[in-house]
With several copies, the nearest count.
Chain A
Amino acid sequence: DAVGEDFDALIAADQRIEPRDAMPEKYRETLIRQIAQHAHSEIIGMQPEGNWITRAPSLRRKAILIAKVQDEAGHGLYLYSAAETLGVDRAELLDRLHDGRQKYSSIFNYPTLTWADCGAIGWLVDGAAIMNQVPLCRCSYGPYARAMIRVCKEESFHQRQGFEILWTLMRGTPEQQAMAQDAADRWWWPALAMFGPPDTGEAAKGGHTEQSMAWGIKRFSNDDLRQKFVDMMVPQADKLGIVLPDPELRWNEERGHYDFGEIDWDEFWRVLRGDGACNAERIAHRRRAHEDGAWVREAANAYAAKHASTVTATGRESAA
């Protein structure tokens, strides 16, 4: 059909698909799911670090942390806007988040137990996010790609801030060093799992990777991205003086990459199914905020409606 032909031609030419372009329903659905999950992750991702805003150990760190959590809210907003170009609205997407029909990144179901976790999240989690997101700046769907360009710029700033938190701790007292090492111990494996289950070799069958690649939504396999991430982080860990918690981690001269140990996929699936440390808390917190705020959103709508009708009726209050 015509839809398919135009779309295929654009994809084949590595051109951007825009909201006005016809697109296959599956492509639209895949994107809505992926962009929404990405937006939800930004919003839920405010909580683990938000937990440290009132307790940040210095005013400078408090300011940086507030700004970062604010950025995450902003990323959520760009991404919801990008999703809205595909014909769903934010309220509907939030409902799907709140009732569990849509997911967010499982990494945010891990708790932030010490101040060092704010460093580890910046360094490892934002680091992994960037690795995932940089290729999305060339995603075939225009609004998503453009949102990603903006997001990536800020994320790399966050990643440097996370590194710097850990850097300071590793040059601090023995307790601070232990705190940083402990955070890295807890966040390393979940960060590796962020790239998703294996999708190359035998594991390539049955997943979404192949179709997403064909559509220009995904540019690299999960496994390739994970390897790039490991290769990037090991020298940074060395620079920090942090020992990554993987005895099998070593340079493989032949492959030109670091070898690393097996991820605990049982834990990954357990957390994804809802049984992680913070699954219940994250959604309950988000729901409570949403429900507590319902009367405010209703009031804003009522006020806007009143004013819109006043404008229509008198034709002269729009400047008010």
Chain B
Amino acid sequence: TQPYAAYLVGLADDVLVYAQRLAEWMTNAPQIEEDMALGNIALDLLGQARALYPHIGAIDGTGRGEDDFAMQRGERDWRNVHLVEQERGDFADEMARLLWFSAYQVQLQTALGRSTDAVVAGVAGKALKEVRYHLDHASLWVVRLGDGTEESHRRMQAALERVQPYLAELFDDDEASVVAADLGVGVLPSSLRDGVVEQVSRVVMQATLSLPESSKWRSRGGRAGIHSRPMGYLLAELQHIARSYPGATW
């Protein structure tokens, strides 16, 4: 069993939980093209999670498959950041979250392309192309909304402020990431911060918006299984059917 399994669980949980939230937009998006686009991004992230879980089950010695991870873990065993578990807000909230998350993912997957774990490097190679598209998509919308109408500018700015407390957590170097970085499998989250902030800042400036100051409060604990209120309800929905029919295959 590999000591960096916990690090990979964090990576996989981030994208699975965000895929679950993004998929909620289907039938709820502002236009049909966007139902499709957000569904597409959800599919990409879901695919990344599905590629990682069985690998984690192999290296941690449990032999767990994707659905063991997705459907059979309690809240305390999930290692995703709070950013991705927050409830769906308005479209500006989603674009603010997608902009930051995708910019983070571009830096992350770029670095993971050099992972000493061949599976991780392989997943990252494919993921990088996807998350670059996600970043483009979010950037396009942030610029349109920031530089659109008065209302959309106000909403987009408010969304940047609401998402702000959830960002620091992406860049915390927890124990698992230090282990993974030492082994050359992973990357220190803190090392990604400057690239992400620079990327987002460019978009925000083009959108005639401004990056908010740091808030007094910030989220923490996701990587240690300490989640925010929405997580339990997300899991109830995600797992209810699977949990209701123990041992069934689908």
State the A residues within 8 Å of B (CB).
Answer: 43, 46-47, 50-51, 53-63, 66-67, 69-70, 73-74, 76-77, 80, 111, 113-115, 165, 168-169, 172-173, 175-176, 179, 182, 273-281, 285-286, 288-289, 292-300, 302-303, 306
- Whether B218 pairs with A275 at a CB distance below 8 angstroms is yes
B148 to chain A: closest residue by CB: A299
- A contact patch SS: helix
Contact among A58, A114, A168, A296 with B30 in the assembled complex (CB-CB below 8 Å): A296
- B contact patch SS: helix
Q: Which residues of A contact B152 (CB under 8 A)?
A: 295-296, 298-299, 302
Q: How far is the CA of A67 from the CA of B34 in the complex (A)?
A: 14
Chain A to chain B contacts (Cβ below 8 Å), 5 pairs: A59-B70, A113-B75, A273-B216, A281-B229, A288-B28
Q: Which residues of B contact A295 (CB under 8 A)?
A: 149, 151-152, 155
- Whether A175 pairs with B30 at a CB distance below 8 angstroms is no
A283 to chain B: closest residue by CB: B217
Q: For B29, B165, B219, B227, which residue has the most chain A Cβ atoms within 10 angstroms? A: B29
- Whether A285 pairs with B32 at a CB distance below 8 angstroms is no
State the B residues within 8 Å of A (CB).
Answer: 16, 20, 23-24, 26-36, 39-40, 42-43, 46-47, 49-50, 66-67, 70-71, 74-76, 90-91, 143-145, 147-149, 151-152, 155, 165, 215-221, 225-229, 232, 236-238, 240-242, 245, 247-250
- Whether A277 pairs with B226 at a CB distance below 8 angstroms is yes
B39 to chain A: closest residue by CB: A70
Q: Which residues of B contact A179 (CB under 8 A)?
A: 74, 76
Q: Which residues of A contact B47 (CB under 8 A)?
A: 63
- Whether A73 pairs with B32 at a CB distance below 8 angstroms is yes
B24 to chain A: closest residue by CB: A54
- Whether A70 pairs with B250 at a CB distance below 8 angstroms is no
A63 to chain B: closest residue by CB: B46
Contact among B43, B144, B217 with A279 in the assembled complex (CB-CB below 8 Å): B217
Q: Which residues of B contact A114 (CB under 8 A)?
A: 74-76
Q: For A55, A173, A182, which residue has the most chain B Cβ atoms within 10 angstroms? A: A55
Q: How far is the CA of A273 from the CA of B218 in the complex (A)?
A: 12
Q: How far is the CA of A105 from the CA of B226 in the complex (A)?
A: 20
Q: Which residues of A contact B249 (CB under 8 A)?
A: 58, 168, 172
CB-CB under 8 A for A59 and B66, given A296-B91, A302-B149 = yes
Q: How far is the CA of A289 from the CA of B71 in the complex (A)?
A: 29
Q: For B24, B71, B148, B220, which residue has the most chain A Cβ atoms within 10 angstroms? A: B148
Taking the closest CB of chain A, its distance from the CB of B180, in whole angstroms, is 23
- Whether A176 pairs with B229 at a CB distance below 8 angstroms is no
Which 3 pairs across A and B sit closest by C-beta, in order of nearness?
Answer: A293-B30, A299-B148, A299-B152
Q: How far is the CA of A77 from the CA of B37 in the complex (A)?
A: 13
Q: How far is the CA of A277 from the CA of B224 in the complex (A)?
A: 13
CB-CB under 8 A for A113 and B226, given A73-B39, A300-B148 = yes
- Whether B32 pairs with A54 at a CB distance below 8 angstroms is no
B32 to chain A: closest residue by CB: A73
Taking the closest CB of chain A, its distance from the CB of B42, in whole angstroms, is 6
Q: How far is the CA of A296 from the CA of B159 in the complex (A)?
A: 14
- Whether B217 pairs with A275 at a CB distance below 8 angstroms is yes
Q: How far is the CA of A62 from the CA of B151 in the complex (A)?
A: 35
Q: How far is the CA of A12 from the CA of B48 in the complex (A)?
A: 54
Q: Which residues of B contact A298 (CB under 8 A)?
A: 148-149, 151-152
Contact among A67, A111, A273, A302 with B227 in the assembled complex (CB-CB below 8 Å): A111
Contact among A69, A173, A299, A306 with B151 in the assembled complex (CB-CB below 8 Å): A299
Q: Which residues of A contact B216 (CB under 8 A)?
A: 273-275
Taking the closest CB of chain B, its distance from the CB of A273, in whole angstroms, is 7
CB-CB under 8 A for A182 and B220, given A58-B71, A70-B36, A289-B28 = no
- Whether A70 pairs with B40 at a CB distance below 8 angstroms is yes
Contact among B16, B27, B75 with A50 in the assembled complex (CB-CB below 8 Å): B27
- Whether A296 pairs with B248 at a CB distance below 8 angstroms is no
Taking the closest CB of chain A, its distance from the CB of B202, in whole angstroms, is 14
- Whether B241 pairs with A55 at a CB distance below 8 angstroms is yes
Q: How far is the CA of A175 from the CA of B216 in the complex (A)?
A: 36
Q: 12 extra interchain contacts, Cβ-Cβ under 8 A, other than A73-B36, A113-B225, A176-B248?
A: A46-B26, A55-B241, A62-B23, A62-B46, A66-B46, A70-B39, A73-B32, A111-B226, A173-B245, A175-B74, A175-B245, A280-B165
